[in-house]
Chain A
């Protein structure tokens, strides 16, 4: 961990699940069981596979494929509609719920390749911008 200028350091909207690195990229965080290898999102205290408690915190890959999705047209005031919500399968064997951005809702397809993007995700109680994650179509894929 390098300590950078704290006043300008990016703030993750959910530091337990999402780490914003100094270079501005982000990583989803989870656990892997050192006993049986089972992966988990988010971080867990024990493994549901073998019930072992020797878990390491891991950073997941930043690419995945879309399992399914919906265009959300009614939500809470915190989330202006419409937005695309999906489940993204990551290579480590976890399925992550995420908004899908960077393309028109009509262009979202089950099975499409996606990559994680760091995007603004609301503000802190003090008014500082918070950084969260959305998945976008993988650069160089599709007809973008």
Chain B
């Protein structure tokens, strides 16, 4: 079976794009990815497009914009893991031998789709009693503080770090550093989380071109990065109440990816993880096995997760700093991994980056730990 390689990536600026829509953004990202790969666009055999709230056939609108309609394309929805799922589907089509060149796109024009707190689907019993995503993570934060003694200041430092990383990312939604005090004094959303603990409402898109071994050989692309694993799981249905301060779903998805890639968590040089909220980054990195349970807040305080630290987390600025256009996020994480692994990350370059990991986790459905979790491992 072939391995899969990323030969080109593209990404719009993340932020507010009042004059453009999800297809415009997707088209910009796709054209950049094609140009970056150097491939003739006629060689692209299929496409997957991840988005959440953009309505029917957004992927087709993107292909039509760039003159490439006529390909097999599937739109994929997996909440905040939609873009990551598009990457996985593209890789599966290549591994299965169906295609040699596939485009994966993720896009979202979120500012026109809702304001305020994201909620589960209205059909869900928890949505019916007032669940919001910030409230769910706030409850997990409170429990984590109770169990592990994390301070409010330690939690705020996650946002401070990711905003600092974002300040050196020209495509990030937020380009200004913030302080712990600013996080603590920002508008309350769901105690203990304030607005700076939450990822913003962002428009943006990203794209990647994936190829098989044989196509890579034919192209001779020296900047290719190997997609060593792309795993996806849905959460299990609880048969008893389980801890909300640890993520078995993240652990399971990571273990599958580590096994496929032939690595362990100790081999990961840096990671982009799904920091939709400050507490989420804590839960992710511990679930991934990158830090011990209960140990991440102090590690952030010591600078271990900084660019230049022992294990940089979210060098792009993450969802908190770079922004979180739901469907775009998973592909944008892969864009960051590829640019870091190629040594093209500019000011925020991680020295000697060789193995990067991307983690997404999205969606809320009553009675299951998480709806969709993905882990991608990229190796140079």
Contact A97 B131 (CB under 8 A): yes
Chain B proximity mask over A94-110: 1 for CB below 8 Å, otherwise 0:
11011100000100001
Contact B129 A98 (CB under 8 A): yes
The one of A40, A67, A72, A79 in contact with B244, judged by C-beta atoms closer than 8 angstroms, is A67
Contact A67 B132 (CB under 8 A): no
What's the nearest-Cβ distance from chain B to residue A109, in Å? 10
Give the distance in Å from the alpha carbon of A95 to the alpha carbon of B131 in the complex. Answer: 14
Contact A71 B191 (CB under 8 A): yes
Give the distance in Å from the alpha carbon of A41 to the alpha carbon of B143 in the complex. Answer: 22
Inter-chain contacts of A8 with B (CB < 8 A): none
Contact A74 B117 (CB under 8 A): yes
Contact A72 B132 (CB under 8 A): yes
Give the distance in Å from the alpha carbon of A35 to the alpha carbon of B131 in the complex. Answer: 32
Nearest to A49 among chain B residues (CB) is: B239
The one of A44, A74, A98, A99 in contact with B190, judged by C-beta atoms closer than 8 angstroms, is A74
B265 is an interface residue with CB less than 8 A from chain A: no
A42 is an interface residue with CB less than 8 A from chain B: yes
B188 is an interface residue with CB less than 8 A from chain A: yes
Chain A proximity mask over B44-67: 1 for CB below 8 Å, otherwise 0:
000000000000000000000000
Q: Which of A67, A68, A86 has the most CB of B within 10 A?
A: A68
What's the nearest-Cβ distance from chain B to residue A37, in Å? 9
What's the nearest-Cβ distance from chain A to residue B366, in Å? 6
A56 is an interface residue with CB less than 8 A from chain B: no
Inter-chain contacts of A73 with B (CB < 8 A): 188-191
The one of A47, A110, A132 in contact with B146, judged by C-beta atoms closer than 8 angstroms, is A110
Contact A76 B190 (CB under 8 A): no
Inter-chain contacts of B117 with A (CB < 8 A): 74-76
Inter-chain contacts of B119 with A (CB < 8 A): 75-76
Give the distance in Å from the alpha carbon of A40 to the alpha carbon of B142 in the complex. Answer: 25
The one of B139, B187, B240 in contact with A86, judged by C-beta atoms closer than 8 angstroms, is B139
A17 is an interface residue with CB less than 8 A from chain B: yes
Contact B125 A72 (CB under 8 A): no
The one of A68, A71, A85 in contact with B131, judged by C-beta atoms closer than 8 angstroms, is A85
Give the distance in Å from the alpha carbon of A15 to the alpha carbon of B105 in the complex. Answer: 41
Nearest to A86 among chain B residues (CB) is: B139
Contact A68 B129 (CB under 8 A): no
B301 is an interface residue with CB less than 8 A from chain A: no
* Interface residues on chain B, size class: 20 to 34
Chain B proximity mask over A1-20: 1 for CB below 8 Å, otherwise 0:
00000000000011001000
Chain A proximity mask over B250-287: 1 for CB below 8 Å, otherwise 0:
00000000000000000000000000000000000000
Inter-chain contacts of A68 with B (CB < 8 A): 139-140, 142-143, 146, 244
Q: Which of A47, A69, A132 has the most CB of B within 10 A?
A: A69
A87 is an interface residue with CB less than 8 A from chain B: yes
Asked if A110 meets B143 with Cβ closer than 8 Å, knowing A39-B239, A67-B244, A70-B135, the reply is yes
Give the distance in Å from the alpha carbon of A48 to the alpha carbon of B236 in the complex. Answer: 8
Contact B128 A69 (CB under 8 A): no
Give the distance in Å from the alpha carbon of A89 to the alpha carbon of B238 in the complex. Answer: 13
Contact A97 B143 (CB under 8 A): no
B367 is an interface residue with CB less than 8 A from chain A: yes
The one of B126, B129, B142 in contact with A132, judged by C-beta atoms closer than 8 angstroms, is B129
Give the distance in Å from the alpha carbon of A42 to the alpha carbon of B123 in the complex. Answer: 12
A→B interface (CB under 8 Å):
13-14, 17, 38-42, 44, 47-49, 67-76, 78-79, 83, 85-87, 89, 93-95, 97-99, 105, 110, 132-133
A-B pairs with beta carbons under 8 Å apart, 29 shown: A14-B125, A14-B128, A39-B239, A40-B239, A40-B367, A41-B367, A42-B366, A44-B237, A67-B143, A67-B244, A68-B142, A68-B146, A70-B135, A70-B139, A70-B190, A70-B191, A71-B190, A72-B138, A72-B190, A73-B188, A73-B189, A73-B191, A76-B116, A85-B135, A85-B190, A86-B139, A95-B241, A99-B130, A110-B142
Contacts A68-B143, A87-B139 known; 15 new A-B pairs at CB < 8 A? A39-B239, A42-B366, A47-B239, A67-B244, A68-B244, A72-B190, A73-B189, A74-B134, A74-B190, A75-B119, A76-B132, A83-B130, A85-B129, A97-B366, A133-B129
Nearest 3 CB-CB pairings of A with B: A48-B237, A70-B138, A38-B239
